[in-house]
Amino acid sequence: MSILTMKLLLLTIISLCFFSVKAQNFRLITDVQQHQLNGKVKNVKEIIEYEAPFFSAIDTVFYSFGKDGFITKSETRTLQGEPINEAFKTIFERQGAVATTIVYNQEGKEIDGNVVKLNKKGFPIEMEMQLNDTEKVKFYYHYDPKDYKTTLVADNKTINIKQVITYNKEGFPMIKEIFKDDDPLPITKNVYTYNSRGFATTVLSQNADKKETKITYEYQYDTHGSAIEIKKYENGKLKSTAKRIIEYY
């Protein structure tokens, strides 16, 4: 599996688990809340500049939200500068019982993607993606409303990963764990804390070797209470700055 494929997979796992819990009668945050926004958000343009020692990278992201607070479509344009000099475009769209994500290279060729099937209530039950030139892999969503958990498992032993997210009663993710090859110990574990607005302020991330990374966020807000600037730090070092233009209904 390519690095890009794994990155896409993990991003999809994270993003889709939020709206999936809603249909299982959890008390859930919306995509608006997940993205540190507030109020009746219609569209967002976000520019993210990454701090890296050996190359530059910028993401330009366009989000469209429905009046229910969930994303209907997003487009991410990734530009990697010297010495990589590559550009990608990622499009996510939800229509009816299907949500699709497609990644294009700078020549406009489709190089990655996945398809998620939704049930009648609108939450994901299955995700399919291309593992290589000849093989596809499927992931299945399982819900545990009693313990406020969602689990995502693969049907392919080549990957054989499982993700478990534990939520609090308000619907905020508190712990995210990723397991591999039936090992009872997670290969990664994230523990989240939030501010009074419900925006993540700290993520303690631990790998299989117990090495811990502390991720912190700083926000500036508009008059609606949405974050218009987000600074992300890892162990006290600035890693990215996001600036936004927000349109409301």
Q: What is the pLDDT of residue 206?
A: 94
118 token code pair = 């939704």
Residue 109, pLDDT score? 93
* Residue 32 confidence (pLDDT): 93
- In the chain, what are the domains? 3-248 (2.40.160)
Contacts 24+ apart (CB under 8 A), 141-144: 141/16, 141/17, 141/20, 143/20, 143/21, 143/24
pLDDT number for residue 20:
45
Res 17: pLDDT:
46
pLDDT value of position 248: 98
pLDDT at res. 145: 81
Q: What is the mean pLDDT of each run of 10 residues along the chain (249 residues)?
A: 49 49 59 94 97 86 92 92 83 90 92 86 81 84 86 82 88 91 89 95 92 97 98 97 99
